[in-house]
Amino acid sequence: MDELIDILDEHGNFTGETCLKSIAHKFGYFHPTIHIWLYTKNHQVLLQKRALTKKVFPGLWDISVAGHIAAGEQIEKAAIREIFEEIGYKITTNDLHKIGTRKHMVKHNNGIIDNEFHHVYIAELTQNISSLVIQEEEVEAIKLFDLSILLETEKHTNVLLPQFKNYYQSVYNKIMQHLS
């Protein structure tokens, strides 16, 4: 779905300009996104298998929930919206714990230029995943993995991307801090 998003400068500051997501991806404009990693007290992390129709990384087991922030939308409201839209899980801002902002720059073979600032959150998953409802246009499946998957991406095919190992390690460390 094409949506209106804010344009950022190369430092993550708002420029006051907006454009459609497709335009930002065509020209490589920086824009804000959210990543939410859902974990359990049993040291598991929820991953979603991206729908095969996705333009970027189709079929990859990826972040619990991720998405674009609409123009003018508050970051945490976008996180709550995306979580509910993609997997039907209701949380509040008190459940979200921001662990950082990550500059991400990738040119994909299909021409999409992803220049994004990911606002990264963790939150505890307190509901059984069998009660969650996936958004089939975005998500093919969801599954709980042992948290160690974040440290062992090179050992698994089609689960996360080994080139972002440092990012996953930092997420693992933050989740472990919250669990202790």
Cβ proximity of 143 and 125 under 8 Å: no
- Would you put residue 23 in left (φ > 0), alpha (ψ -120 to 50) or beta? alpha
Measured CA to CA, the distance from residue 58 to residue 136 in angstroms comes to 13
* Residues composing the chain: 180
**What confidence tens digit (pLDDT) does each residue in 53-65 have?**
998 899 999 999 9
Kindly report the CATH number assigned to the domain that includes residue 113.
3.90.79.10
Average pLDDT over residues 9-23: 97
| Ramachandran area for residue 28 (φ above 0: left; ψ -120 to 50: alpha; else beta) | left
At position 110, the amino acid (one-letter code) is N
pLDDT of residue 167: 96
Q: Looking at residue 158, what is its pLDDT?
A: 87
32-to-44, 77, 105, 148 alpha-carbon distances in Å: 27, 13, 12, 28
Q: pLDDT above 90 covers what percent of the chain?
A: 89
For 18, half-sphere exposure in the C-beta direction (CA atoms, 13 angstrom radius) is: 12
Domain count for the chain: 1
Biggest distance spanned by C-alpha atoms of the chain: 43
**Residue 153's pLDDT band (cuts 50, 70, 90):** confident
Does 1 score more than 90 pLDDT? no
Roughly how many angstroms between the first and final C-alpha of the chain, as a whole number? 39
> Which run of H or E residues covers position 139?
strand 139-146
Nearest CA among 15, 27, 20 for reference residue 4: 20
The answer to whether residue 156 scores a pLDDT higher than 90 is: no
At 155 the pLDDT is: 86
Question: Of 28, 33, 3, nearest to 18 (Cα)?
Answer: 3
pLDDT value of position 5: 98
Structural domain boundaries, residue 44: 4-179
pLDDT band at 157 (very low <50, low <70, confident <90, very high): confident
Query: Residue 106: beta bridge partners?
Result: 114
| Mean pLDDT over each residue of the chain, to the nearest integer | 95
14 beta partners = 8
